[in-house]
Amino acid sequence: MSSSILKFHHIIALAVFLPFLSSCTNTKITSVWMDSEKAGTAFNDILIIGIADEEHNRRLFEEQFTNQLKAAGIESEVSYTLLPQGSDINRDTVSTAIEGKSIDAVIVTHLIAVEEETVYRPGMDYQPAYGYYDGLYSYYPHVNTYVHQPGYYTTHEVVRLETNLYEVATEELVWSAQSSSFAPESAKEVIDELVKLVIKDLQQKGLIKTKQS
């Protein structure tokens, strides 16, 4: 990655799209990148920015993120109070919004893609039962069960997101993770699971700390 790509003001305006989908959620972090030169740098006051297709989704994202961070003892702030709906999200507006505050990092999440994934669901596992093979009328009902319960394919939507952590002082990208949510039921479920995974990884890497740390 070039330094220009890593700059905060080049990526801060990326949108967060959190569509409402169907079925059960299964969110995983699929890849993580961290600037090795930032090892040992811990942040304790984070601005959460989410730009959604609907203001409701933006607030849902930011509030859930800040609530979970505060529950972990980490100071954080939603951006929708500083950057109201309709505001341009760029380097200047964000810098002005956080001027005079103790915010030392910014987290931004944005959509990579919404894809369709087809999964094969196997039918009943056939197990030979040779004791049934001595007569037609005992063999037939045994195998008929398997014939009429074959495998099948199902298609689900997969939401792929990228979450980035930027340092305010340098405006550089410190940490980035891509996640995949398989067949999520709602935006709320995606947000809840993603936030937990992000906070856990940031804590493990020492990039966020409590006021008491």
Look at residue 158 and tell me whether its pLDDT is greater than 70: yes
Higher pLDDT, 72 or 210: 72
Compute φ and ψ for 182, nearest 5 degrees: -90, 120
Burial 149-174 (b: 16+ CB within 10 A, else e): eeeeeeebbbbebbbbbbbbeebebb
Look at residue 170 and tell me whether its pLDDT is greater than 50: yes
H-state helical runs in the chain:
3-6, 8-11, 55-71, 91-98, 136-147, 187-204
pLDDT in tens, 5-21: 334 444 443 334 444 33
pLDDT in tens, 99-150: 989 999 999 887 776 766 666 656 555 455 555 455 555 566 665 655 555 5
Provide the pLDDT for residue 21: 38
Which structure tokens are listed for 156? Answer: 């689900």
Domains and CATH numbers, the chain: 3-113+158-204 (3.40.50)
Provide the pLDDT for residue 144: 60
Reference 162, options 44, 5, 4; nearest CA is: 5
Residue 44: strand, helix, or coil: coil
Higher pLDDT, 168 or 124: 168
53 DSSP 8-state letter:
S
CA end-to-end span of the chain: 32
